[in-house]
């Protein structure tokens, strides 16, 4: 079985990718410092290295021990809002940490990588849909830290011969439909899990960050993509990467192509849970673009990937089941 090193694999998206890797005949090996992940989010028999991507000696040991065929690189700080307060941490962990990883890959002859990029690289545009040919103009240091990694990848591909795909995910949502994994950020800052905890009366309602955006209902629009579909996209990307013989770098959006406003999401959360939690409006959160919706055409044409779940209510329903069954976990 081909071994795939999954950095950040104990996190929300990573734990779903590990499930999908095993179902697809790959052997995940996870490296995670557990700053925001959970060892118990992974099956016990998945090889696990507790280490930081900035620790070169730990990376060297990991490459020597496991000799992975490819890397899925997800380890990162992920909150766009926090990056407006602590930009240095984002450049240190995301950008410098990724350079450290790429250098270790080069030294150990591991030439294939799927990288977790983000819709946040696009920033504010007036466009209905965003496609991969647009210039990147991130609104926040998080997006800039990821855009820099895309630039490094392009150079490592053209000059050192790496093969790389950057998947620009839009907003991951939902949980494993079979209930084996879900979202457990601590502290939680994402819209849907916060709304679900309001629905469960674990918090006192939900505040909308800004209702004066230039959108139909004044709240921000995002493209919510089911985490199970996101995991499936990684398998497509990996299969594609492994089938190539020449170096290349490509960028692919992973989203549904459908936008949903914050207000819509909250109404859906109330509908799915049957709980009319209080909703109020507060100031905009700095660094939030008004609208981020994918043009998903390239994911279909290059990777033959299309989402199985396109209705946010299905995503919320799976997230709610997971929330309900795991509310005692931190």
Task: Give the footprint of ligand NAD on this chain (CB under 6 A).
Answer: 7-8, 10-14, 32-37, 52-54, 74-76, 78, 93, 97, 116, 118, 169, 171-172, 185
In three-state secondary structure terms, 7 is: strand
According to CB under 6 A, which residues from 178 to 197 bind ligand UPG?
A: 189-191, 194
> DSSP character for 94?
I
Partner touching 321 among ligand UPG, ligand NAD, none, CB below 5 to 8 Å by kind: none
* Of residues 8 and 138, the one with the C-beta less far from ligand NAD: 8
**Least CB distance from residue 278 to ligand NAD, whole Å?**
25
* Of residues 91 and 111, the one with the C-beta less far from ligand UPG: 91
Partner touching 13 among ligand NAD, ligand UPG, none, CB below 5 to 8 Å by kind: ligand NAD
Q: Can you tell me which residue has the tokens 């013989």?
A: 245
What angle, rounded to 10 degrees, do the helices at 56-66 and 97-107 form? Answer: 40
Partner touching 79 among ligand NAD, ligand UPG, none, CB below 5 to 8 Å by kind: ligand UPG
In order, the DSSP letters of 220-288 are -EE-EEEHHHHHHHHHHHHHHHHH--S-EEEEEEES-S--EEHHHHHHHHHHHHT----EEEEPPPTT-
Query: Which of 5, 3, 30, 25 shows the shortest CA–CA distance to 181?
Result: 30
Q: How far, in Å, are 199, 223, 231, 259, 305 from residue 315 at the CA level? A: 15, 12, 14, 14, 18
Beta strand spans in the chain (E) = 3-7, 27-32, 48-50, 70-73, 112-118, 163-169, 171-173, 206-209, 221-222, 224-226, 248-254, 260-261, 279-282, 291-292
**Is residue 262 a contact point for ligand UPG (CB under 6 A)?**
yes
* b/e burial code for range 99-116 (CB count within 10 A of at least 16 → b): bbbbebbeebebbbbbbb
Q: Of 6, 10, 80, 165, which lies in the binding site for ligand UPG, with binding defined by CB under 6 A?
A: 80
* Of residues 1 and 43, the one with the C-beta less far from ligand NAD: 43
* Of residues 280 and 305, the one with the C-beta less far from ligand NAD: 305
Chain Cα centroid distance, residue 125 = 21
**Least CB distance from residue 246 to ligand NAD, whole Å?**
27
Partner touching 69 among ligand NAD, ligand UPG, none, CB below 5 to 8 Å by kind: none
Instruction: For residue 222, give both structure tokens.
Output: 């995002």
Stretch that binds ligand UPG, among 107-115, 202-210, 225-233, 311-319 (CB under 6 A): 202-210
Catalytic, out of 12, 142, 213, 323: 142
Partner touching 52 among ligand NAD, ligand UPG, none, CB below 5 to 8 Å by kind: ligand NAD
Site string for ligand UPG, 116-155 (x = CB under 6 A): --xxx-----------------------------------
Instruction: For residue 119, give both structure tokens.
Output: 């819709």
Site string for ligand UPG, 13-52 (x = CB under 6 A): ----------------------------------------
**Least CB distance from residue 246 to ligand UPG, whole Å?**
30
What angle, rounded to 10 degrees, do the helices at 227-243 and 12-23 form? Answer: 60
Catalytic (active site) residue 26: no
Q: Name the burial class of residue 261, with classes exposed (0-12), middle (13-18) and buried (19+) by CB atoms within 10 angstroms of its CB.
A: buried
According to CB under 6 A, which residues from 217 to 246 bind ligand UPG?
A: 220, 222
In three-state secondary structure terms, 155 is: helix
In three-state secondary structure terms, 151 is: helix
Q: Indicate which residues carry an active-site annotation.
A: 142
Interaction site with ligand UPG (CB under 6 A): 78-80, 118-120, 170-171, 189-191, 194, 206-209, 220, 222, 262, 285, 288, 292
């Amino acid at each position: 079985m081909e071994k795939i090193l999954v950095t950040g694999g104990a996190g929300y998206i990573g734990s779903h990718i590990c499930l999908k890797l095993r179902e697809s005949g790959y052997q995940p090996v996870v490296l995670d410092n557990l700053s925001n992940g959970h060892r118990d989010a992974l099956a016990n028999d998945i090889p696990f290295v507790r280490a930081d991507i900035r620790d070169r000696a730990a990376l060297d040991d990991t490459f020597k021990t496991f000799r992975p065929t490819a890397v899925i690189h997800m380890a990162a700080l992920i909150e766009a809002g926090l990056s407006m307060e602590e930009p240095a941490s984002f450049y240190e962990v995301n950008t410098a940490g990724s350079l450290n990883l790429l250098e270790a890959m080069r030294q150990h002859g591991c030439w294939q990588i799927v990288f977790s990029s983000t819709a946040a690289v696009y920033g504010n545009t007036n466009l209905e849909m965003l496609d991969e040919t647009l210039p990147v103009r991130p609104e926040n240091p998080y997006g800039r830290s990821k855009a820099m990694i895309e630039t490094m990848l392009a150079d490592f591909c053209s000059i050192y011969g790496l093969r790389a795909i950057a998947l620009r995910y839009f907003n991951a949502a939902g949980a494993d439909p079979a209930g084996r994994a879900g979202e457990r950020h601590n502290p939680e800052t994402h819209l849907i899990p916060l709304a679900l905890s309001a629905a469960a009366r674990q918090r006192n309602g939900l505040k909308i960050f800004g209702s004066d955006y230039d959108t139909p209902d004044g709240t921000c629009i995002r493209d919510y993509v089911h985490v199970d579909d996101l995991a499936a996209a990684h398998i497509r990307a990996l299969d594609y990467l492994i089938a190539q013989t020449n170096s290349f770098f490509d960028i692919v959006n992973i989203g549904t192509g459908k936008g949903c406003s914050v207000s819509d999401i909250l109404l859906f959360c109330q509908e799915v849970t049957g709980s009319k939690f209080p909703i109020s409006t507060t100031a905009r959160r700095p660094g939030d673009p008004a609208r981020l919706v994918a043009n998903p055409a390239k994911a279909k044409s290059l990777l033959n990937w299309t989402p199985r779940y396109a209705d946010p209510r299905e995503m919320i329903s799976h997230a709610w089941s997971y929330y309900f069954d795991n509310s005692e976990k931190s």
